[in-house]
A = this chain, B = another copy of it.
Amino acid sequence: MHIVLQVINPPYSYEDMDSAIKIADAALKKGHKVSIFLFADSVLSVNTKVKPIRIDRNIPNLLKDLADRGAEIHICGLCFEYRGLDIEAATPGAELSGVPEMATLLATADRYVNFAV
């Protein structure tokens, strides 16, 4: 089954990205195909230039781990530009997408889970 998880809120300030990562991990373990769609402020999650304090989690690294295990990471391109982020610094495996890819995921995936904002 293909499961999409869409996040909107910024990482670190709120829990959505963490919940999505944990559900993605469980879905991958069960053999599902997983896509994560990062919309609005959640696009900050792929910025590998983040410097969290030592005892904190590194969210771009957690996403890289999911990508290494086959998860697709979609970044809303316009949202990325609105925050002035650099695709060169994005988590390896994350790809600039947009509304066309969101539409394809909504049309073709089996489940589309949104974290409301």
Contact = CB atoms under 8 A, between A and B. Distances in A.
Contact of A84 (B10, B53, B89): B89
Contacts of A10: 10, 41
Interface string A81-94: 11111100100000
B81 A51 contact: yes
Chain A interface helix/strand/loop/mixed: loop
13 contacts: A12-B82, A13-B40, A44-B84, A47-B83, A47-B84, A49-B84, A49-B85, A50-B81, A50-B84, A51-B84, A52-B82, A84-B85, A84-B89
User: Interface residues of A toward B: which range?
Assistant: 20 to 34
A28 to B, nearest CB: 25
Contacts of A86: 49
A51 B13 contact: no
